Structure 1
Amino acid sequence: MAITLNNSQIKLRIETPGEKYRGSRFDWNGTITQIWYKGKKMLAGEKMLFHRNDRIYGRGLHNEFGIKNCIGYDDIPVGEYFPKIGTGWLKKDEKPYFFFTQYKLDVLDFSWQKVSDTKAVFMCDSGIRNGYGYRYTKTIEIIDNTFTVSYNLENVGEKKISTTEYIHNFLLPSGKNIGPHLELSFNWEYDKASLTENVKTENLIEFTSKGIKFEKTPDVEYFLGSVFEARKDKKFSENGSWCVSDSQNGVVMSESVDFVPYHTDVWGHKQSLSPELFKWLDVEPGSCANWNRTYKFEN
């Protein structure tokens, strides 16, 4: 059953592990599936309305470990299991790892606690297989007009954990289609020509020095690759943030992180705008990694 956190400004609906989503891609360990800011919905899903399957597709603020930097896949034979953090142990097939594949899944041991009206903690323990093992805790807490998602990843195995984590922020402010009322900006200037990918943005997106504006409502999926790597000043030492302004409803939503982005993409469709700040993880056996993502809302 979902957990609800709220104060006078923000309400969060958080899906408990295995409640609906049971896919092999995204994190199960406490998923924020909807945000209300002063009563206005802010989130949507990976698929458009009437094309969604909550069991296998992402929704809300759905994070993922190892979309490309998969842990342990190349170290094991076909038929053995590799770790997908926060999801489970996935059975290797004959093909290279691909995040869209629905792998056979051994589910983890999950637990959770609603500490107060504004705080909840989610935990999972992987056990150890093929030298890999971890304990993973996610804490979600609302404070005033912000909430923070805090991560703790402890390596309890014998092998180093090297991978990425990011959140697919499936944004749809106030439930309106993506369109000219929305502007996305980052806290750095970037060079459009240096993007590794710029897919289906012609006559759809106006590029600004720090982000994008929409010229119309999208009728295709769009994608911008490596926005952080394309920053003009080449000073890759600043913690990352993005901001989405909604002129139609007068709401501003932002995410700031306490790390320098390893990578940054933007993806979406008619009903989703998803800026993605990637965290790189190198966690030695016996060590922990901690990082935070803070979301803020303003009028």
Structure 2
Amino acid sequence: MAIILHNSTLKLKIETPGEKYRGSRFDWNGTVTGIWYKGKKILSQEKKLFSRNIRIYGRGLHNEFGIKDAVGYDEAAPGGFFPKIGTGWLVRDDKPYYFYTQYIIDPLEFSFKKISDTKAVFMCDSGIRNGYGYRYIKTLELLNDTFKVSYELENTGEKKIETTEYVHNFLLPGAKSTGPHLELKFNWEFDDKKLTERVNIDDIMEFTSNGIKFKKTPELEFFAGGIWESRKAEPTANSAWILEDSASGIVMSESCDFITCHMDVWGHNRCLSPELFKKISLESGKTEKWNRTYSFSMMH
């Protein structure tokens, strides 16, 4: 059963591991599938209506380790196991790793605890296979109009863990469609002509020096790749984005305690997903900690 956290302005619904989502791509270790700010719904889903399968597709704030840099995949023989952090031990096939593939899963042992109405902790321990192993703790805590997701990853194996982590923020403030009422801003300037990938964006997006406005509601899925790589200068602060929704009046932001290594924006007619990537390089016996903080307010 899902865990509910709440205070006077925020309500979070957190899915427990394996409760609904059982796919091989995203993290099972405490997934925020619902946010309400002052009673207004904030989150959406990966797939549009009538093509949703909550067992294999993402919802809410669904994070993922190793979308393109799967740990141990190249070392495993076809039919052998490789670790997908927060998900389980996956069975390798005879093709290159592809995040959309639904790999056979040997699930992890998960534990979780609701500490209070405003705090919950989720944990998994992978054990050791092929020299790889980890212990992964995710803590979620509410404070006024803000909540923080804290990550702790310990390398318990012999081999180094090199990968990335990001959150597929499936956003839809006020449960409206994606469109001209939304404006997404970043805390760095970039040149949209230097994007590494452009899919269905030229007719629907207007780029500013540090953000994106929408000309209309998109009909197709869109993708703007490499927004961080297109930056005009090196950073002077940790990475963040802000989403303003003039229809609902909601302002939402994500700020990190790290400088991103990559940033994309993806979405469809009922979803907008800004994605800040965290680079992980973890030697045996070492632990890395990082935070993502989500804040909410109303437009003035």
With structure 1 as the length reference, what TM-score do the two structures score?
Answer: 0.99
CA contact (8 A) 1:155 1:161 kept: yes
| Alpha-carbon distance in 1 for matches of 2:203, 2:127 | 50
Tell me by how many angstroms 1:199 deviates. Answer: 1.2
Counterpart position of 1:189: 189
Give the match's secondary structure for 1:112.
Answer: strand
Spell out, residue by residue over 1:231-264, the C-alpha distance to the aligned partner (whole angstroms, 9 max, x if none): 112x145310000000111110000000010100
CA contact (8 A) 2:147 2:295 kept: yes
Counterpart position of 1:261: 260
CA contact (8 A) 1:66 1:164 kept: yes
Matching of residue 198 in structure 1 with residue 198 in structure 2: yes
CA contact (8 A) 2:91 2:103 kept: yes
Matching of residue 288 in structure 1 with residue 296 in structure 2: no
| Alpha-carbon distance in 1 for matches of 2:243, 2:277 | 18
| Alpha-carbon distance in 2 for matches of 1:116, 1:72 | 37
Amino acid at match of 1:186: F
Spell out, residue by residue over 1:119-176, the C-alpha distance to the aligned partner (whole angstroms, 9 max, x if none): 0000000000000000000000000100000000000000000000000000000100
Counterpart position of 1:67: 67
- Counterparts of 1:100-139 in structure 2, within 5 Å, are 100-139=100-139
| Alpha-carbon distance in 2 for matches of 1:237, 1:107 | 41
Counterpart position of 1:42: 42
CA contact (8 A) 2:44 2:59 kept: yes
| Alpha-carbon distance in 2 for matches of 1:222, 1:203 | 10
Counterpart position of 2:168: 168
Spell out, residue by residue over 1:88-147, the C-alpha distance to the aligned partner (whole angstroms, 9 max, x if none): 000010100000000000000000000000000000000000000000000000001000
**TM-aligned CA distance change 1:283 to 1:237, over 3 Å:** farther
CA contact (8 A) 1:237 1:260 kept: no
Tell me by how many angstroms 1:287 deviates. Answer: 0.4
Give the match's secondary structure for 1:129.
Answer: coil
| Alpha-carbon distance in 2 for matches of 1:89, 1:22 | 13
Matching of residue 98 in structure 1 with residue 86 in structure 2: no
Give the match's secondary structure for 1:165.
Answer: strand
| Alpha-carbon distance in 2 for matches of 1:237, 1:180 | 30
Give the match's secondary structure for 2:167.
Answer: strand
Counterpart position of 2:226: 226
Tell me by how many angstroms 1:49 deviates. Answer: 2.0
| Alpha-carbon distance in 1 for matches of 2:236, 2:25 | 30
Structure 2 residue runs without a partner (length 5+): none
| Alpha-carbon distance in 2 for matches of 1:143, 1:264 | 27
C-alpha root-mean-square deviation of aligned residues, in Å?
0.7
Give the match's secondary structure for 2:193.
Answer: helix
Amino acid at match of 2:162: S
| Alpha-carbon distance in 1 for matches of 2:140, 2:149 | 5
Counterpart position of 1:214: 214
CA contact (8 A) 1:196 1:226 kept: yes
Counterpart position of 1:143: 143
Amino acid at match of 1:263: H
Q: Which moved more, 1:71-80 or 1:162-171?
A: 71-80
| Alpha-carbon distance in 1 for matches of 2:150, 2:137 | 8
Amino acid at match of 1:266: V
| Alpha-carbon distance in 2 for matches of 1:59, 1:76 | 30
Q: Percent identity?
A: 65
Amino acid at match of 1:207: F
Counterpart position of 1:28: 28
| Alpha-carbon distance in 2 for matches of 1:201, 1:257 | 26
Tell me by how many angstroms 1:229 deviates. Answer: 1.2
Q: Runs ≥4 in structure 1, deviation > 3 angstroms? A: none
Matching of residue 179 in structure 1 with residue 174 in structure 2: no
CA contact (8 A) 2:188 2:235 kept: no
Give the match's secondary structure for 1:193.
Answer: helix
With structure 2 as the length reference, what TM-score do the two structures score?
Answer: 0.98
Structure 1 residue runs without a partner (length 5+): none
CA contact (8 A) 2:140 2:148 kept: yes
Amino acid at match of 1:245: E
